[in-house]
């Protein structure tokens, strides 16, 4: 029988043996090998690397020399395990052998293809100071609350996974934590626990791209060592920003963009003397912007766009030189003149003040901003002359204002040799958008000096005179020429010999005349050509069919004449408008055989197509370009808003075509809009039209068509507008929901038609009264002309692109309008169309 002291020493002796066994090199090596074997390598997996991961982990070498392993120099205990880009392709087990590494200080399993859940047993690695299990896209489950037991932890990164649930409040126990990164876990929800505000050693909090909501805890005001706070891309709705921000005096990076914050900014922000980045865009912030924000000399970026901030804007008087290069205040409610004090930010390179209510002229003091290269003042109420110093920019957006004229340029500025601006003033691609102003006079010839011009938009102004031939100097780089809706006259100059990059040419709604320049055949990248509403007098330009990328061709409302070639091969054409010309002759029955794009059916006509929205956004580079289009409806050329959708359409209305409508029209199975009205077509309506299953609008009115309306047209379930009026049709009107919803006027002046009782009523259906075509009541007209817009898109580069479209007709559907513009949400950002 042992005496008590002997028992104590015996137990102590066994404990020493046990601890030494756990810490022995052999035990540490075996624990690592067990961990390796928890992830069996499957060489047949297509994602597997050429050789097995952790192949250096074997008994032929000291475990302290293995990849990612660091040991204590004296005891050989594993104190750090760092595995990055290691293909484990398995889950961490609840009893993982890592638990045997009792002295582990640092654990990183970055981008290791881990799956499953984070085991709560990791909370038993009590000596951990650094834990990084980020970038494992298939790692799911909740954040274990047991992590709150790791009292020595100073670094925690669980970002870029697929974790779910709420942030455990136990993380507020990690009193030594300096970095907390839970970002990009798109199923992480709920409110931020107030206990996080107890971690007064925190320097970095990153919670971006989750689904966190609620308010930011007021306890965040305790985090006076916080340098980075990133909350962008969540669903936060509020928080006491004045209180919190006023106390975060160490803050250098603050980003709460893309949330739903409803708050004011602090009235005094001068205490944030280390602040470099301030991003609060895309929220619902209200009130004024404190002048003190702009007096912080360390600022590098300010983004306040897409809020409800208001009032005149003053930039304050800073005694220190500002280093601010980036200023974005777009889409707010700022008013009054642009302050002359903006010139104090001499390092500014980017300014966006668009979509506000700024008034008056552009301040002359901005000429001091010699580094400014990108300026967007569009959608304001600015007026006066466009200052000459702006032409040194590479991106100049001044559209939708009230500018009246161009200030004359000195020859030095035109040649790019102004001593104030350096010799590189005109280097790189240049984009000028001055559309929708009140500009008068002729196109300034100095534009021709910008040989790297990529976009020129002077549409919707009052410009006169001719298009200068010297634009040939720019056409080698030009991707977009948009001069629509002016008073330009003369000929379209023959300037396109080197225009191989030109993707869009829009000179519609001018007074241009003569023939089309044959040099257009060199525009091998051309996708969109709009010559509508001019005075062009020429035969049909069949030679344009050699442009393999041409998708949209608008020649309507000109003086084109003569027959159309029967050998067309517009393989990429999606939309063609030949309306209101003097084209004549017959169309062969096989006329549409080679129009392959309109006949194609497949993924490429949807939003996942290679030539659809992905290409559009890629070309746009994340920017937007706004446009609208017009098409004929009931003899009225009308402009409509556009939404980014794909469609295909044909409009041959208002010409002198004779003979039968080609039966090959039925081969164009992807058509949405067909208009052959106001011609002299004869014969029967081709039954092949019933093959166009997605047809939404069909207008065959004002012809000499005879016979019956094909019964199979009743099966066109998407049709919302039909017009067979003013023909020689006879027989029964097909019975279907689509036909019954049409107005009586869609069938008028066809004395042989019968079965109209359900559409016109018994009196009108039998009387033959010529007055049965009375105008719609205002209520009926409003319903019949509710539009659903569809469009095809093309994009040029940053802040470029083109959206065009056509209209088909629906009931009780309206394009959602915001401030006169239709808007469509998209992952690349907001796309606006007018």
Residue 405 domain-assigned? yes
Cβ–Cβ < 8 Å for 382, 353: no
- Token digits for 304? 């306040």
- The pLDDT assigned to 11 comes to 42
Arithmetic mean of pLDDT, 261-283: 95
H or E segment to which residue 328 belongs: strand 326-328
pTM, 2 dp: 0.82
The CATH code of the domain that includes 378 is: 3.80.10.10
Residue 414 domain-assigned? yes
Beta bridge partners of 553: 529, 576
* pLDDT over 70 (residue 794): no
At 562-587, the pLDDT tens digits run 999 766 678 889 999 999 999 999 99
Arithmetic mean of pLDDT, 138-166: 97
Cβ–Cβ < 8 Å for 322, 348: no
H or E segment to which residue 69 belongs: strand 69-71
Q: CA-to-CA distance for 380 and 355, rounded, in angstroms?
A: 6
At 220 the three-state DSSP class reads: helix
At 739 the three-state DSSP class reads: helix
Residues 591-615: b if buried by 16+ CB within 10 A, e if exposed: bbebbebbbeeeeebeeeeebbbee
* pLDDT over 80 (residue 393): yes
Sign of torsion, CA 723 728 734 735?
Answer: positive
* Boundaries of domain holding 393: 264-427
- Mean confidence (pLDDT) of the chain: 84
The band of 24, judged by pLDDT with boundaries at 50, 70 and 90, is low
Arithmetic mean of pLDDT, 606-615: 33
The winner for highest mean pLDDT among 342-346, 762-766, 803-807 is 342-346
Q: CA-to-CA distance for 417 and 414, rounded, in angstroms?
A: 8
Arithmetic mean of pLDDT, 42-65: 89
Residue 302 domain-assigned? yes
- The pLDDT assigned to 642 comes to 38
* pLDDT over 50 (residue 819): no
Question: How many Cβ atoms from other residues are within 10 Å of residue 95's Cβ?
Answer: 11
Residue 305 domain-assigned? yes
Sign of torsion, CA 437 443 445 449?
Answer: positive
- The CA R_g of the chain, rounded to the nearest whole Å, is 35
Arithmetic mean of pLDDT, 686-706: 96
- The pLDDT assigned to 334 comes to 97
Q: Could you tell me which residue, 251 or 832, shows the higher pLDDT?
A: 251
At 585 the three-state DSSP class reads: strand
Task: Kindly compute the dihedral angle of the four CA atoms of residues 581, 587, 590, 592, in this order, to the nearest 10 degrees.
Answer: 10
Phi, psi for 47 (deg, rounded to 5): -90, -5
* pLDDT over 50 (residue 716): yes
Residue 334 domain-assigned? yes
Q: Is 775 exposed, middle or buried (0-12, 13-18, 19+ CB in 10 A)?
A: exposed
Q: CA-to-CA distance for 794 and 804, rounded, in angstroms?
A: 8
Residue 387 domain-assigned? yes
Spatial strand order of the sheet with 817-818 comes to: 817-818, 821-826, 829-833
The band of 136, judged by pLDDT with boundaries at 50, 70 and 90, is very high
* pLDDT over 70 (residue 769): no
Instruction: Using DSSP bridges, classify how beta strands 440-442 and 462-464 pair: parallel, antiparallel or unpaired.
Output: parallel
Beta bridge partners of 806: 790
Q: Select from 695, 705, 699 the least CA-distant residue to 660.
A: 705
- The pLDDT assigned to 731 comes to 95
Residue 709 domain-assigned? no
Q: Select from 525, 533, 524 the least CA-distant residue to 506.
A: 533
HEC letters along 378-432: CCCEEEEEECHHHHHCCEEECCCCEEEEECCCCHHHHCCCCCCCCCCCCCCCEEE
Q: Which of 321-325, 499-503, 525-529, 817-821 has the lowest mean pLDDT?
A: 817-821
Arithmetic mean of pLDDT, 310-330: 85
The band of 764, judged by pLDDT with boundaries at 50, 70 and 90, is low
Q: Select from 297, 360, 365, 305 the least CA-distant residue to 332.
A: 305
Q: CA-to-CA distance for 369 and 389, rounded, in angstroms?
A: 10
- The pLDDT assigned to 566 comes to 66
In angstroms, the Cα distances linking 250 to 218, 228, 246, 318, 476 are 17, 9, 10, 20, 51
- Token digits for 24? 């022995």
Arithmetic mean of pLDDT, 387-394: 92
- The pLDDT assigned to 790 comes to 33
Residue 160 domain-assigned? no
| DSSP category for residue 254 | E
Q: CA-to-CA distance for 378 and 357, rounded, in angstroms?
A: 10
* pLDDT over 70 (residue 766): no
Cβ–Cβ < 8 Å for 204, 228: yes
Q: CA-to-CA distance for 316 and 427, rounded, in angstroms?
A: 33
Q: Which of 168-177, 639-648, 824-833 has the lowest mean pLDDT?
A: 824-833
Number of domains composing the chain: 1
At 90-135, the pLDDT tens digits run 999 999 999 999 999 999 999 999 999 999 999 999 999 999 999 9
Beta bridge partners of 206: 181, 230
Side-chain-side CA neighbours of 412 within 13 Å: the count stands at 8
- The pLDDT assigned to 315 comes to 87
Apex CA 186: angle with CA 185 and CA 192, to 5°? 70
Cβ–Cβ < 8 Å for 167, 193: yes
* pLDDT over 80 (residue 21): no
């Amino acid at each position: 029988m042992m005496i008590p002291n002997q028992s104590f020493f015996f137990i102590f002796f066994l404990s020493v043996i046990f601890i030494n066994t756990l810490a022995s090199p052999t035990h540490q090596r075996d624990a690592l090998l067990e961990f390796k074997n928890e992830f069996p390598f499957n060489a047949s997996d297509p994602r597997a690397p050429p050789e097995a991961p952790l192949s250096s982990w074997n008994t032929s070498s000291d475990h302290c020399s293995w990849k990612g392993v660091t040991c204590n120099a004296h005891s050989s205990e594993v104190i750090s395990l760092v595995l990055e880009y290691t293909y484990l392709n398995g889950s961490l087990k609840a009893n993982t052998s890592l638990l045997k590494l009792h002295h582990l200080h640092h654990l990183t399993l970055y981008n290791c293809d881990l799956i499953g859940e984070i085991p709560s047993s990791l909370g038993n690695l009590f000596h951990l100071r650094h834990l990084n299990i980020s970038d494992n896209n298939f790692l799911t489950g909740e954040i274990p609350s047991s992590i709150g037991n790791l009292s020595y932890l100073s670094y925690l990164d669980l970002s870029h996974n697929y974790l779910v649930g709420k942030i455990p409040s136990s993380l507020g126990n990690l009193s030594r934590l300096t970095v907390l990164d839970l970002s990009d876990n798109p199923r992480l929800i709920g409110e931020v626990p107030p206990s996080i505000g107890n971690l007064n050693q925190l320097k970095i909090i990153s919670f971006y791209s989750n689904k966190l909501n609620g308010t930011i805890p007021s306890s965040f005001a305790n985090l006076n060592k916080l340098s980075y706070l990133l909350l962008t891309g969540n669903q936060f709705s509020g928080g006491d920003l004045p209180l919190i921000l006023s106390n975060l005096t160490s803050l250098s990076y603050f980003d709460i963009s893309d949330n739903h914050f409803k708050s004011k900014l602090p009235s005094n922000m001068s205490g944030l003397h280390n602040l470099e980045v301030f991003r609060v865009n895309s929220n619902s912030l209200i009130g004024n912007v404190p002048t003190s924000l702009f007096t912080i000399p360390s600022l590098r970026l300010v983004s306040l766009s897409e809020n409800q901030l208001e009032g005149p804007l003053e930039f304050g008087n800073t005694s220190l030189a500002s280093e601010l290069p980036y200023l974005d205040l777009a889409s707010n409610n700022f008013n009054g003149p642009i302050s002359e004090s903006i010139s104090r930010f001499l390092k500014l390179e980017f300014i966006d003040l668009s979509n506000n209510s700024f008034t008056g002229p552009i301040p002359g003091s901005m000429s001091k901003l010699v580094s400014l290269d990108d300026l967007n003042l569009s959608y304001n109420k600015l007026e006066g002359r466009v200052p000459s110093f702006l032409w040194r920019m590479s991106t100049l957006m001044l559209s939708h204002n009230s500018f009246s004229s161009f200030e004359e340029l000195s020859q030095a500025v035109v040649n790019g040799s102004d001593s104030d601006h350096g010799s590189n003033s005109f280097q790189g691609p240049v984009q000028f958008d001055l559309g929708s102003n009140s500009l008068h006079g002729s196109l300034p010839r100095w534009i021709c000096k910008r040989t790297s011009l990529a976009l020129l938009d002077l549409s919707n102004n009052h410009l006169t005179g001719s298009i200068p031939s010297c634009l040939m100097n720019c056409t080698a780089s030009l991707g977009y020429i948009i001069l629509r809706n002016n008073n330009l006259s003369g000929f379209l100059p023959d300037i396109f010999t080197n225009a191989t990059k030109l993707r869009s040419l829009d000179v519609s709604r001018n007074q241009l005349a003569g023939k089309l320049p044959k040099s257009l055949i060199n525009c091998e990248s051309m996708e969109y050509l709009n010559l509508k509403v001019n005075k062009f007098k020429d035969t049909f330009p069949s030679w344009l069919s050699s442009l393999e990328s041409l998708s949209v061709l608008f020649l309507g409302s000109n003086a084109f004449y003569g027959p159309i070639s029967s050998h067309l091969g517009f393989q990429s054409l999606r939309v063609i408008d030949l309306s209101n010309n003097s084209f004549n002759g017959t169309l062969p029955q096989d006329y549409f055989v080679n129009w392959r794009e309109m006949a194609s059916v497949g993924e490429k006509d949807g939003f996942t197509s290679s030539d659809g929205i992905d290409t559009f956004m890629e070309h746009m580079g994340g920017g937007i370009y706004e446009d609208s289009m017009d098409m004929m409806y009931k003899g009225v050329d009308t402009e409509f808003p556009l939404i980014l959708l794909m469609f295909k359409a044909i409009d041959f209305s208002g010409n002198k075509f004779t003979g039968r409508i080609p039966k090959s029209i039925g081969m164009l199975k992807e058509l949405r809009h067909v208009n052959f009205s106001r011609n002299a077509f004869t014969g029967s309506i081709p039954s092949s039209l019933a093959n166009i299953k997605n047809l939404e609008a069909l207008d065959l009115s004002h012809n000499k068509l005879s016979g019956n309306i094909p019964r199979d047209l009743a099966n066109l379930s998407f049709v919302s507008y039909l017009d067979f009026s003013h023909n020689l049709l006879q027989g029964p009107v097909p019975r279907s929901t689509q036909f019954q919803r049409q107005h009586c006027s869609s069938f008028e002046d066809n004395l042989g038609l019968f079965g109209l009782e359900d559409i016109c009523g018994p009196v009108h259906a039998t009387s033959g009264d010529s007055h049965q075509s009375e105008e719609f009541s205002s209520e009926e007209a409003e319903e019949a002309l509710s539009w659903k817009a569809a469009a095809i898109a093309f994009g040029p580069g940053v802040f470029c692109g083109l959206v065009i479209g056509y209209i088909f007709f629906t009931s009780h559907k309206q394009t959602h309008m915001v401030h006169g513009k239709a808007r469509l949400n998209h992952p690349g950002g907001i796309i606006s169309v007018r």
